[in-house]
Amino acid sequence: MLLKIPQVLNKAQVAACRDVLLAADWADGSSTAGYQSAQAKHNLQLPEQSQDALQLGELVLLALSGNKLFMSAALPLKIFPPLFNCYQGGQSFGVHVDNAIRQVPGTPVKVRTDLSMTLFISEPQDYDGGELVIEDTFGAHKVKLAAGDMVLYPSTSLHKVTPVTRGRRLASFFWLQSMVASDEKRSLLFDMDMAIQALRQKVADSNEIVQLTGVYHNLLRQWAQT
C-alpha cells in the first residue's frame, strides 16, 4: 500500500522545522546507510543524536500520534525516531531497498521496517528534481508532495530520490514496525476501516455497522503481533 497522508504538520510546524534545518550543522548522509545503500546515497543528514534532530523528531511523532489516517493505515507498534535529510547541488539517492532491521541508537530496541515514511518539509516549487520514486508491481510512482504532507509505503519497495538540480529538498524519513506485518492484511484492514467510517458518515450506527466493526477487530486480534 502506497498512501499519501496530507497535512501531518501544519504550516506553522513546517515553518518551525524549516527554520531549524536551515540553520543546522549537517553531516554526510551515508553514515546511517547500510553497505549497499551507502554506495548510492549522496545527501546530507542531521546527526541522529543532535539536539535539533531529537527536538524535531518529537514534534513529528506527536503530530502522528493524533493522525487518524496514519494510525489506521500503519497500525504502528514501534516507530524508529525520525531522521532528517537535505538534498542540493545535484545530490541524489540511487535505487535501493531499506534495511530490514534498524536498531534505535543508544538502546537495545530493534525495529523491523515494515513501512517507510517520507515527510516533506520543503515546498515542491522550491526545488527541481528530488522526486521520491517508488517501484511496485504496477510500475514506478513519482512522489513530490506539499510541505507537511507524508507518503507511507512498504519498506520492501525498491525506491530512489532523483537528483536535486535547483534549490534544497528538506525532509524527514523514518520507519515503523506494524502490529500487522503483512502488507496485504494491513491493506485489507485499512480498506475495511475506511468503509466503516464512510458508512457512519452516511447513516447512524446500525446492527450491520456494529457487526462489521466486530469483524474488523476480530481480524486485527487474529493478525496483530504485540
Does residue 156 contact residue 131 with C-beta atoms inside 8 Å? no
**Is 159 labelled a binding residue?**
yes
**What is the phi/psi pair of residue 152, to 5°?**
-120, 130
**Residue 205: per-residue pLDDT:** 79
Q: Which residue positions in the chain have pLDDT lower than 70?
A: 31-38
The sign one gets for the Cα dihedral 143, 28, 94, 32 is negative
**Residue 29: per-residue pLDDT:** 80
**Is 141 labelled a binding residue?**
no
**Residue 40: per-residue pLDDT:** 82
**Is 96 labelled a binding residue?**
yes
pLDDT in tens, 71-80: 999 999 999 9
**Is 168 labelled a binding residue?**
no
User: Quick one: DSSP state of residue 8?
Assistant: S
**Residue 30: per-residue pLDDT:** 75
**Residue 180: per-residue pLDDT:** 98
**Where does 35-183 show beta strands of DSSP type E?**
41-42, 44-45, 76-79, 83-88, 92-96, 101-103, 110-112, 115-120, 127-129, 132-136, 139-143, 150-154, 159-161, 164-178
Helices and strands: H and E segment counts in the chain: 6, 16
